[in-house]
Amino acid sequence: MKKNHPTNDKPTLINSILKFRSKPLIRPGQGNQLSDNHSIQTRSNYSIAGTLLLLHTVLYLLADLLLQNLPELSSILYSDSIRSFAISGLATQGFLILLPVLIVMAVFHTSASNVIGDRPLPGTILLSFVTGIPAAAVFQGLNNLLIYQLLRMGWQIPVVTTPYSFNTNIIWSAPLSIKAMIIIVSALLPAIAEELMFRGVIQGSFAGRSRVAVIIFWQAVAFMLFHLDPLFILPPFMTGLLLGYLRHKSQSLLAPIVCHISLNISLLVLNPLLPRFTKSLLEISSETTRSLLYASLIASCIAAVALVPLIFIIGHQYKSPTPAKVRNLLFPGDWKLILAMSIMIVTIIIRYYNS
């Protein structure tokens, strides 16, 4: 006969530990509204952002040094042909962005579900795509205004620093296959790779370190410096703010990816009509420059009429849960992030004076 032992309702230490370990530490898609357990774990992994950005910077410097010492390779990657354009684009997105992201995620055991987030609400994908269209016109117009004002203040405008020799403005007249290649290399791949890096890993690793506004601001600064272009400072920063806000509100990486794709495609289509101000363009004539500036500003104002309500809708489509306790740091990164951003700033300055 089996003896009945009295049950003890008080949990033992072992049972408490097992019960704690059975709870998931990370709930996918919660972004910055995290549970206390998630916040504690994220605080210990905030160095992911600095590690990723520094690894990307080191790989970029090594690749740049390699190209300077191997002119044959440079001619293959950056000649004026669609083949070189495709190869250089794939190499840039794969070696300099996706590879560091995968390495850091593997080293820090970052779950893909935490980077990607939840499934967005119905209608969010369409809303994100539509938002990218007026955003492209607004950001391009503001950047042209900034460059024009700097020129009037006596600043020397550098030449375009992009290594690509292929002219993507032919998208209007190119065959369908060339158009598809340009869109894939210039819009789809950069959007996916850059969103995984910045709004996925970097912004996610900052969770619990500071307020949402501070986190979005610093990932936007990193995104701005990442482009390493003295003539292209304002659009990446504003794009980083928009996409970071969209990532926070939707709790999904898919929404900023779609918005980023739409924004890139819109810039490709818009540039032949309302071109981005460059040194060669500004040297044509003052009348042409003013005409292009006025046209760009008019397009920006019209686009802003559509962009502002879309951002308002995004903000009110999602009800943010009550945030958990977070630290109120002004800078959520570590020394590696400071070092990587400092190297990028020095690189931008050197590019400006060398051009």
Residue pLDDT, tens place only, 15-65 = 443 343 333 333 334 444 433 334 334 444 889 999 999 999 999 999 999
Whether residue 74 lies inside any domain: the answer is: yes
Characterize 232-267 residue by residue with b for buried, 16 or more Cβ atoms within 10 angstroms of its Cβ, and e for exposed: bbbbbbbbbbbbbbbbbbbbbbbbbbbbbbbbbbbb
Q: Please report which confidence band the pLDDT of residue 283 belongs to, taking 50, 70 and 90 as the band edges.
A: confident
Q: How many domains does the chain fold into?
A: 1
- pLDDT of res. 176: 87
* Average pLDDT score over residue span 199-219: 93
* Average pLDDT score over residue span 7-13: 44
Whether residue 14 lies inside any domain: the answer is: no
Whether residue 23 lies inside any domain: the answer is: no
Whether residue 3 lies inside any domain: the answer is: no
- pLDDT of res. 174: 78
Whether residue 118 lies inside any domain: the answer is: no
* Average pLDDT score over residue span 288-301: 89
Q: Please report which confidence band the pLDDT of residue 79 belongs to, taking 50, 70 and 90 as the band edges.
A: confident
What percentage of the chain reaches a pLDDT higher than 70? 82
Whether residue 26 lies inside any domain: the answer is: no
Quote the distance between the C-alpha of residue 85 and its chain's center: 21
User: Is residue 10 predicted with pLDDT exceeding 50?
Assistant: no
Question: What are the residues whose beta carbons fall under 8 Å from the beta carbon of 209, sequence distance 6 or more?
Answer: 42, 43, 46, 215, 326, 327, 329, 332
Count H helices and E strands in the chain, helices first: 17, 0
What DSSP line would sit under 248-311, residue for residue? HHH-BSHHHHHHHHHHHHHHHHHTTTSPPP-HHHHTS-HHHHHHHHHHHHHHHHHHHHHHHHHH
Whether residue 6 lies inside any domain: the answer is: no
* Average pLDDT score over residue span 267-294: 82
Whether residue 2 lies inside any domain: the answer is: no
- pLDDT of res. 33: 42
User: Is residue 201 predicted with pLDDT exceeding 50?
Assistant: yes
Q: Between 158 and 117, whose confidence is greater? A: 117
Domain extent, residue 226, equals 32-112+123-354
* Average pLDDT score over residue span 82-92: 88
User: Is residue 78 predicted with pLDDT exceeding 50?
Assistant: yes
* Average pLDDT score over residue span 127-144: 95
Q: Between 26 and 272, whose confidence is greater? A: 272
Q: What is the mean pLDDT of the chain?
A: 83
- pLDDT of res. 3: 47
Handedness of CA 116, 94, 228, 301 (dihedral sign): negative
Lowest pLDDT segment from 37-51, 248-262, 318-332:
37-51
- pLDDT of res. 114: 86
* Average pLDDT score over residue span 202-206: 94
Torsion of CA 139, 144, 149, 153, to 10 degrees: 120
